[in-house]
Chain A
């Protein structure tokens, strides 16, 4: 079955510290992976996607097919990074996105 697992419900780091939000997936084909973010009082929005291989707001994510992971990383956390982060997977031809349960990131001053 297709599944996205985010093992941490809450991650607290200090400002300036590195951040890694974990995402593991199970899917037999070739998935497309995304990270969505929801800041306080804002809508859920796309942060980045694997296909674009981009870096947004200093965040990057590398797809590791061997470990079936798509961890989100940032070298130096900022207070404005505090938000809820969701990892998501789309499978070819289904038009169905599967989301993880989310990780709340708190960046402490």
Chain B
């Protein structure tokens, strides 16, 4: 069974640009959640999607957005990039039927904003 796949693995952008990150969940998983990981802050919750609907979102500005497609693949978009957006972005998938479930994480996309 293939794991959670995130693309691209690395991204380098400049301030003001926008970026799109992709996440393919494990087959059969309908929930995809996104986290921002930085050395000082740990993992910060961005949002969670289930069957194309956002069920919850974290405390991030509106520049951060996401969506989920009918095949459960998800994308997140960050517009007007700032230096502080440099981080590892992780996505995680699960069945999405309970909030007690095990999360399966991808390897992440390392975003560097110059």
Contact = CB atoms under 8 A, between A and B. Distances in A.
Interface of A: 32, 36, 43-46, 49, 51, 86, 88, 90-102
Contacts of A102: 42
B102 interface: yes
A52 to B, nearest CB: 9
Contacts of A95: 31, 33, 48, 50, 55-56, 96, 99
Given A44-B105, A94-B56, A99 B31 contact: no
Interface string B81-114: 0000000001010001001101111110000000
A100 B102 CA distance: 17
Nearest to B90: A44
B70 interface: no
Interface in B47-66: 48, 50, 55-56, 58
A49 B96 contact: no
Contacts of B31: 95
Contacts of B107: 43
A49 B103 CA distance: 11
Contacts, number: 57
Instruction: Pick from A45, A92, A94, A96 the residue with the most CB of B within 10 Å.
Output: A96
A100 B45 contact: no
The 8 closest A-B pairs by CB, nearest first: A101-B42, A99-B43, A44-B105, A96-B56, A32-B100, A46-B102, A90-B99, A95-B48
Contact of B99 (A36, A44, A46, A94): A94
Contact of B33 (A91, A92, A97, A101): A97
A92 B31 CA distance: 16
A100 B37 CA distance: 11
A92 B56 CA distance: 12
